Every structure is written in structure tokens, then in C-alpha cells.
Amino acid sequence: MLNKYNIALTTLLLLLVGCSSSHKEFKFVNAIELGKITPIGLAFDGTDIWLSDGDNNQVVKINREGKVLQKLENFERPMHIAYNKGNLYIPQYGRDTITIISKNNNNKTLPIDMDLDAPAGVAVDNNNIAIADFYNHRVLLKNKKGWQTIGKKGRNKPAEFEYPTDVHFNNDVLYVADAYNHRIQVFDLNGKHLRTFGRPEKMNATTGIFVDDNYVYATDFENGRLLIYNHIGQLQQIIDAGFENPTDVAIINNELYVTDYKLKKILVYKQ
Amino acid sequence: MKIINVFITIVLLSFATTSLLAQKNIKNDKNNLKDEVSVQVDGLGCPFCAYGLEKKMKELKGVKAFKIEMESGLTSFTYPTENNISIEEVKYQVIKAGYTPMALSIKRADGSIEEFEYETPEIDYTANQTIEFDVAGNCNMCRGRIERAVMSLYGVSDAKWNKKKKYVTIKYLDSQVSERDLHEAISAAGYDTEKMKAMDDAYSALPGCCQYDRIEIDAIVPFKKNTSTDNVE
């Protein structure tokens, strides 16, 4: 009798847990046409959207209707950009530098103790900076102690990378798009590996990553998909219609913005 | 007589000047000569790849008129003839960029052509090993975690955990993944294997119903050596 009671109670608890963590699906809202811009990275400055346009070596500010408001030119393959406290951080893949553009359009180079080889993504949060160092198969992390490297080239073990392309912080946790290992790796601010997920979904180049308090969003470039996980790596939703080659993703005012390199569009979704 | 001397001097000077200019022009022409290089690579699919190949090619100082076609993977550029670029130098940069040079040609300024064509080796990517070992666990949720952990490894084609007998059967390709990798993946998911205990914090993170009786490992049994990632330890 007691055994049956226990089973019923456990089932009820599991159902309750299941219900409380239920995911409300994102649905397509609209597409923003970008003309000749081939978008790679996406960042939001609180009012407008910044896009890195790798093919045209420029970074462009647009409003949410897609109207170009500002163009910054003469970069060399700008990739996954980040915006923090009035500064736009631009990794220049072809120049091995991170350029910082201030609100007043002054620019400077981020001082780094180590050599980069094709920085593909940058993330900035409080006093922490992370860089996806593509050809060195590692991530550079600056915390209060200074710069350190995370990982090395490899296919399987924790903290092994195969061409990492993007990084993002959320609540003092660092998420890395480990592009050609087709997975996401998670680290604390000391560089300690916490978990890995995404392989079972058979991504083909995990190019862009964004994390908010609810989800981890990852673009699956070759398969034309966006994958949405919870923070412990359980898959919540796959959006696989409408994309060709998605490159980056961000949540802007509760809407999900996804850049598509081939379509030259931003696709917008809402829960 | 004086007039004749002046005339001869002028003629000689103009002859010398013309000769020097001609020599300089020949030298300039030689400096401006360009070899045309074209490379077909495999695996070029995304802008990261294309820009990466461009970056590595531009490490060869003197690369001009660089063009890349994303869809076909065809890349071309010109290079100063006087630098005499070789097939091997171009191949090296392509490989450094992470790609395989499938076809490569250098058209020299004198019209001669040097070519290279890659011969694809036949590689069998199917699993060549099957292994069984004990893994602790309680329930179907444990089975899901154990199997997912192993299937997440590059080179594993199948994994089944036997709930009754508490062992896992894994099919894998030993050039891609080692026995140690398999044990590490399972222990990182919170499960003791016969050769590797799970970290305490990974075990503690399991739901209460999945917290199995820990395996006591009496003696360390060495891992089988193979061609995979053991050597990086």
C-alpha cells in the first residue's frame, strides 16, 4: 500500500516539475530585410541594433525597421560583436584585434596579453571579457585576476575546442559556441568547465550563442536551425523553418532576433 | 673640331641614357609580373571558413586580387613572379586554414602551368570497436543520461545501457575516441564506471531517485591504448 502511495506521489511530483518548467514556444513575427548587408554578429545598444557585415568589412547600425542609421567602415572581417556600457566591441577576424568604439565614435584597441589568431566573437559583462580565439582553438577570459586561456584543440574532452566562434556571459557563467565540435560548453568565471551539451542535436557548426535568464539560444549554421535549451542543456525548442544560414541571435525587448547570412535578413520571433 | 667633339659627346650620352632607361623598364616589368594561383578547397561552407582561408593566404606577403567563391570553394589570387611561390607553400597555407586542397594550379607569368590534384584516401568511418563495461545507475532516467553522455562523443555510433545488469555496450571508432574518453564522459555525467568514479559534485547533482549505490573501485585497471586521444593526457 505504502509502495503504491509512493509511486503515485512520485508521479504527481514529476508531473508538477514538468508543468512548472514547461516552455512557451517562440513563433515567427516578421522579417527585417537588410539589403546588401551580409550579417554575422548582432548587438543591441538599448535603442538600435548593430550588425557586423563581414563580406563588406563594415559595422552598421539599423533601427528595428531595418533602416540604416550609421555605417562604420574599413574593418577587416568584423565578426560576433558585443555592446556594453556605451562601447561597441568589434572582433576583427582579419586583423587579430578587438576594436572598441565609444559612443563618441572614438576607437581604440583592446589591450590583450596574448596573441589572437582570428577572433570570431567577443562578450563583455561587468569587468569580464571573453574572446573566441578561432584558429588557436581556445577562449581568452579576462576576469578580476587578469587574462587567462581556456582550453585547447580537441574533439571530445571538456574544454577542448574545434574553432570556437562565439561567447556569451549570463549570471557570471560563460557559454561558448564550440562551432566544429557541434556543441556548447559552459564555464565559470575562473575558467572551470561546468557542462557540455548540444551534440545529440547534431548541429553543423554552432556559430552564434546568446543566453538570457531563461534560455540558451544557439544558431546551427549549415542545418538552418535555431536551437533553444534551458541552462542545464535540455532542449526546449528547435526552430527549423525560415532560415538558410543563421549566424547570431539576441533577445531584444522580449523578442528573439536571428540574423541570417544568406537571406540577408533578421528574423524575429516572439513567445 | 670642337663642334665634332661636343656632337659625339651628346650622341654618346643620349645612347647611354636610352640604354639605362631600357634596362630600368625591363627590371620594372619583371617586378610587375604576376603568377596566377587558383585553389579548390573542400569544406568551405561558412563565412568563418572563407574569411579564415583568406586570412591564411594573405600571410603570404604579396597576395593580391584575392577572390573566393563560397559555394564552390574556388579561391584565386595573384602573386609576384619574382617571389616564385611553390605549390607546397600554397598547400601549407590551405592546410593551416583547416582545409584540404583538392586542386591547385599556378600559372606562371611565362605561361607555364604547375598543377596539383588531391587523391582522396578511402577512410572507413564506421565503428571498429565494441566495448562493454560496468556502469552504476538506477532507472530509465539514468539510462538516458549515460547513453546521451557517450553518444555526445565524436566517433561513437551506438550506446546502450543495460538497466538490469548495469553495464553499457558501446560501438565506437578507435581513431576518434578512446576507452578513457568513454569512461570520462560517463563519470562527468555523474555515474561511476568500473574504472572511473564520478566526481562527487556531479553525483550530488543527480536527482535523489537516481543517486545509486556508489561502485567501490578496488584496483586501478589500465585503459586500453589505442590510436585516439590517450596521448594528450
Contact B151 A200 (CB under 8 A): yes
Question: At residue B233, does pLDDT exceed 80?
Answer: no
Q: How far is B154 from chain A (nearest CA, A)?
A: 6
Are the C-beta atoms of A265 and A252 separated by less than 8 Å? no
Q: Helix, strand or coil for residue B71?
A: coil
Contact A165 B48 (CB under 8 A): yes
A57: left (phi over 0), alpha (psi -120 to 50) or beta: left
Yes or no, beta carbons of B229 and A154 under 8 Å apart: yes
Residues contacting residue B122 through CB under 8 Å, at least 6 positions apart:
none
- Percent of chain B at pLDDT > 90 equals 34
A233 touching chain B per CB within 8 A? no
Task: Indicate the pTM of the whole model.
Answer: 0.73
Task: Determine which of B44, B51, B125 to mutate to test the interface with A (most A C-beta atoms within 10 Å).
Answer: B51
State the pLDDT at residue A6: 53
A with B: how many residue pairs have Cβ under 8 Å apart?
A: 74
At B205, the pLDDT band (50, 70, 90 cuts) reads confident
Q: Which domain holds residue A122?
A: 2-270
pLDDT for residue A181: 92
Domains of chain B plus CATH, in order, are: 33-117 (3.30.70.100), 129-232 (3.30.70.100)
- Out of B55, B154, B181, whose CB is closest to A118? B55
Closest residue by Cα to residue A118 from A148, A80, A145: A80
The predicted pLDDT at position B98 comes to 82
Distances (CA, A) of A78 to A53, A93, A205, A223, B158: 7, 6, 18, 23, 40
- At A129 the pLDDT is 98
Nearest residue to A80 (alpha-carbon basis) of A165, A158, A203: A165
Query: What would the pLDDT profile of A87-96 be if each residue is shown by its tens digit?
Result: 999 999 999 9
Report residue B17's pLDDT band, with 50, 70 and 90 as the boundaries.
low
**CA angle, residues A122, B232, A117, in degrees to nearest 5:** 30
Using an 8 Å CB-CB cutoff, list residues of chain B that contact chain A: 45-48, 51-52, 54-55, 58, 98, 148, 151-155, 176-177, 181, 184-185, 188, 209, 229, 232
Angle at which helix B140-151 crosses helix B179-188, to 10 degrees, equals 140
Complex ipTM above 0.95? no
Among A52, A45, A43, CA closest to A75: A52
**Chain B residues in contact with A247 (beta carbon < 8 A):** 47
Residue B55 distance to chain A (closest CA, Å): 6
**Tens digit of each residue's pLDDT (9 = 90 or more) over B65-114:** 998 887 677 899 999 999 999 999 999 998 888 888 888 999 999 999 99
Domain at A62, CATH number: 2.120.10.30
For the CA atoms of A118, A123, A128, A134, the dihedral, rounded to the nearest 10 degrees, stands at -20
Position B2 scores a pLDDT of 65
Partners of residue A120 in chain B, C-beta under 8 Å: 48
Which band of pLDDT confidence, cut at 50, 70 and 90, is reported for residue B225? Answer: low
Contact status, residue A89 vs residue A98, Cβ threshold 8 Å:
yes
Q: Which residue of B55, B148, B154 is in closest CB contact with A156?
A: B154
Nearest to A93 among B55, B153, B154 (CB): B55
Number of Cβ within a 10 Å radius of residue A161: 27
- Predicted confidence at residue B21, as pLDDT, reads 53
**Cβ-nearest to B48 among A134, A157, A197:** A134
Q: Which residues of chain A have pLDDT under 50?
A: 1-2, 9-20
pLDDT value at residue B69:
81
Chain A contact set for B55 (CB, 8 A): 77, 93-94, 118, 135
Closest residue to A134, CB basis, from B52, B54, B188: B52
Contact A93 B52 (CB under 8 A): yes
Q: What is the mean pLDDT of residues B127-145?
A: 88
A-chain residue closest to B231, CA distance: A154
Q: What is the sign, positive or negative, of the torsion defined by CA atoms of A170, A173, A177, A181? A: negative
Partner-chain residue, chosen from A10, A196, A245, that has the shortest CB–CB distance to B46? A245
Structure confidence at residue A12 (pLDDT): 46
In angstroms, the CA B74 to CA B71 distance is: 8
Count up the domains in chain A and report the number. Answer: 1
* Mean per-residue pLDDT, B190-203: 89
Q: Nearest C-alpha of chain B: how many angstroms from A155?
A: 7
Residue B231: its pLDDT value, please? 37
pLDDT at position B27 is 55
Residue of A135, A200, A205 with shortest CB distance to B46? A205
A163 contacts chain B (CB < 8 A)? yes
